[in-house]
């Protein structure tokens, strides 16, 4: 094993597109989201350094560990969430190509993005507080609602491209931009379900402050909470990057630095879409969300898939 | 070391998350606190976020005089907050007992139960006064 073969994966994991890039860009996107939300409510909104200040403050705070909780689990969960998100990022194309493309990475990435949700559930469950337990159960219930439409929506372009490889799908979508017009329902479904995955309004049922105080994170404080927040920011970046790659043709054939600029611009655009959704809607109840996902989004995405199969047969 | 301490102080000044507790107010002060959080006054531009759980919060906003019944609960909420933590007493009642002072069922001001960092007078305290008090409390962190 040469030094280079150890150093370059380390660079990928720790600097770009791994931990460092994701945390910087994630905190930036959190600011974009909060600022856009504030502007839509006719407010001034937080300054650009706000997420950084929040993070440092939480790190410096005392971390309280409840007496009756599973201490080891409670302490390691935020890092599990972060690790799985960073791993997922290694499979999304930031350059024209993903770092480690292979057939079926679309499925793997959806699986990796489910792990943070599971850690939220375990976080709530292991903190043994009634509010956190209710929040944890809601996290799982919500997972079953949005996961299926999200998967089906992402399948649409995969069927058209005839490949399970994200890099190939994004190349295909870029070469056939007209097909994007047919994919608009699928794109919207993916954006809405991503909102559910990130547990933001109108799907922030697992931590509805007015009902169950802090939801699954009720007992978390200090540094552990900071890392959970960071993991959620990172998940937002990866989710936006995934939708960008699958539906919007990824880096659009650009190369080098330009590819990264295109990537940043398009993911910011998707996050802006997410914050508009957040600003114009109020929280819905859990059974409304499940009805909406299973009775409206899932059939719609099935229709989308049927349409794509018909199209695929037409164009061959 | 000095730089890190400075950075931490800066972050504490820029990101105070609050939790609101009614210890026996007439609800006048509570409405004013909510008022300060509305888009018109927009506390988020100072980094203030309203949190539901004491574990996430740095600043406890208490309104109203402390009644004997709520005394234990107030202390418990205060103890559940991670350090460093601050308490702001909002309204004449929270500062000194106000119109409820000397009543058989009340203990008096908030400082009878827990240590208070800032007092914001008024009956009810105006949203402008609440924001001003918060900013002055944060500015005092520098020293
Ligand atoms: S200070 Fe005035 S408004 Fe506030 S709780 Fe007391 S009586 Fe009510």
Asked if A29 and A233 touch (Cβ cutoff 8 Å), the reply is yes
Using the Cβ of A308 and the Cβ atoms of chain B, whether some distance falls under 8 Å is answered with no
Contact A61 B11 (CB under 8 A): no
Interface probe, candidates B21, B54, B56, B81, chain A, greatest A C-beta count within 10 A: B56
| In chain B, residues 21-50 whose CB comes closer than 8 Å to chain A | 39, 42, 44-45, 47, 50
Is the Cβ–Cβ distance between B120 and B90 less than 8 Å?
Answer: yes
Alpha-helical segments (H) within A127-255: 130-161, 166-175, 179-182, 184-197, 209-212, 222-247
CB A213 within 8 A of CB B53: yes
Pairing verdict, β B59-63 and B17-22? parallel
Specify the fold of B2-142.
Rossmann fold (3.40.50)
pLDDT of residue A98: 67
Neighbouring residues of A129: CB distance < 8 A, sequence distance ≥ 6 = A66, A218, A219
pLDDT for res B12:
83
Could you tell me if A99 and A12 are in contact, meaning their C-beta atoms sit under 8 angstroms apart?
yes
Nearest ligand 1 atom, CA B122: 1
Q: Look up residue A180 and give its two tokens.
A: 């994007």
Q: What per-residue confidence (pLDDT) applies to B1?
A: 73
pLDDT tens across A154-213, in order? Answer: 888 888 888 888 888 888 888 877 777 888 888 889 888 988 888 887 888 877 777 777
Q: Give the relative orientation of helices A19-40 and A50-60 as an angle to the nearest 10 degrees.
A: 120
d(CA A176, CA A184): 14
pLDDT score recorded for residue A285: 85
Give yes or no for B14 touching A (CB within 8 A).
yes
Residue A43 φ/ψ, nearest 5 degrees: -115, 175
Q: Which of B13, B16, B53, B80 to mutate to test the interface with A (most CBs of A within 10 A)?
A: B53
pLDDT for A244 equals: 86
* Closest B-chain CA to A132: B53
What is the pLDDT, as a whole number, of residue B110? 86
Interface check for B53 against chain A (CB to CB < 8 A): the answer is yes
Decide if B15 and A54 are in contact by the 8 Å CB cutoff.
Answer: yes
In the prediction, which pLDDT does B6 show?
85
How close B70 comes to chain A (CA, Å)?
A: 19
Nearest protein CA to atom 8 of ligand 1, as residue: B26
Q: With CB atoms and an 8 Å threshold, state whether B53 touches A213.
A: yes
- pTM reported for the whole predicted model: 0.87
Q: Which stretches of chain B score pLDDT less than 70?
A: none
Chain B contact for A45 (CB, 8 A cutoff): yes
Q: Output the ligand 1 site: residues, CB below 6 A.
A: B 25-26, 28-29, 63-64, 91-93, 98-99, 123-124
Residues of A in contact with B80 (CB under 8 A): 64
Reduce the DSSP state of residue B38 to 3 states and report it.
coil
**Distance between CA atoms of A183 and B65, rounded to whole angstroms?**
60
B99 alpha carbon – ligand 1 mean position (Å): 8
Domain boundaries, chain B: 2-142
Distance (Å) from CA A45 to ligand 1 centroid: 30
Rounded to an integer, what distance in angstroms lies between the CA atom of residue A229 and that of residue A58? 10
In this structure, which residue's CA is closest to atom 5 in ligand 1? Answer: B25
Per-residue pLDDT tens listing for chain A (316 residues):
566 777 777 777 777 777 888 888 888 999 999 899 888 888 888 888 888 888 888 888 888 888 877 788 888 888 888 888 888 888 888 766 667 777 888 888 888 888 888 898 888 888 878 888 888 888 888 888 888 888 888 888 888 888 888 888 888 888 877 777 888 888 889 888 988 888 887 888 877 777 777 777 888 888 888 888 888 898 888 898 888 888 887 777 677 778 788 888 888 999 998 989 888 888 888 888 889 888 988 898 899 888 888 888 887 6
């Amino acid at each position: 094993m040469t030094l280079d073969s150890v150093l370059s994966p380390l660079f990928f994991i720790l600097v770009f597109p791994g931990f460092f890039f994701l945390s910087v860009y994630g905190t930036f996107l959190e600011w974009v989201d909060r600022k856009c939300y504030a502007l839509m409510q006719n407010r001034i909104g937080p300054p650009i350094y706000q997420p950084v200040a929040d993070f440092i403050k939480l790190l410096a705070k005392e971390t309280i560990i409840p007496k009756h909780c599973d201490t080891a689990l409670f302490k390691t969960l935020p890092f599990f969430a972060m690790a799985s998100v960073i791993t997922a990022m290694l499979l999304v194309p930031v350059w024209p190509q993903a770092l480690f493309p292979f057939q079926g990475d679309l499925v793997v990435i959806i699986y990796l993005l489910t792990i943070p949700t599971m850690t939220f559930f375990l976080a709530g469950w292991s903190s043994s507080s009634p509010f956190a337990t209710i929040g944890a159960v809601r996290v799982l219930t919500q997972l079953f609602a949005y996961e299926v439409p999200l998967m089906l929506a992402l399948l649409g372009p995969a069927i058209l491209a005839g490949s399970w490889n994200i890099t190939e799908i994004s190349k295909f979508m870029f070469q056939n931009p007209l097909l994007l017009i047919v994919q608009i329902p699928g794109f919207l479904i993916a954006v809405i379900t991503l909102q559910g995955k990130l547990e933001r309004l109108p799907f922030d049922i697992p931590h509805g402050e007015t009902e169950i105080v802090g939801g699954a994170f009720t007992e978390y404080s200090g540094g552990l909470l900071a890392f959970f927040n960071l993991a959620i920011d990172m998940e937002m970046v990866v989710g936006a990057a995934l939708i960008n790659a699958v539906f919007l043709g990824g880096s659009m054939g650009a190369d080098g630095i330009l590819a990264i600029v295109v990537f940043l611009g398009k993911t910011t655009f998707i996050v802006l879409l997410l914050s508009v959704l957040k600003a114009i809607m109020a929280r819905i109840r859990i059974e409304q969300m499940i009805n909406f996902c299973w009775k409206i989004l899932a059939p719609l995405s099935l229709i989308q898939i049927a349409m794509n199969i018909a199209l695929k047969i037409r164009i061959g | 070391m000095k730089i890190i301490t400075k950075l931490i102080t800066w972050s504490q000044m820029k990101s105070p998350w609050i939790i609101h507790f009614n210890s026996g107010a007439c609800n006048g002060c509570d409405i004013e606190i909510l008022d300060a959080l509305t888009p018109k006054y927009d506390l988020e531009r100072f980094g203030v976020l309203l949190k539901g759980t004491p574990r996430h919060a740095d600043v406890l906003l208490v309104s109203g005089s402390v009644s004997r019944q709520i005394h234990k609960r107030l202390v418990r909420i205060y103890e559940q907050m991670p350090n460093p933590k601050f308490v702001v007493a909002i309204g004449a009642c929270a500062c000194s007992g106000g119109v409820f002072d000397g009543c058989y069922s009340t203990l008096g001001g908030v400082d009878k139960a827990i240590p208070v960092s800032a007092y914001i007078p008024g009956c009810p305290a105006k949203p402008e006064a609440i924001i001003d008090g918060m900013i002055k409390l944060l500015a005092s962190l520098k020293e």
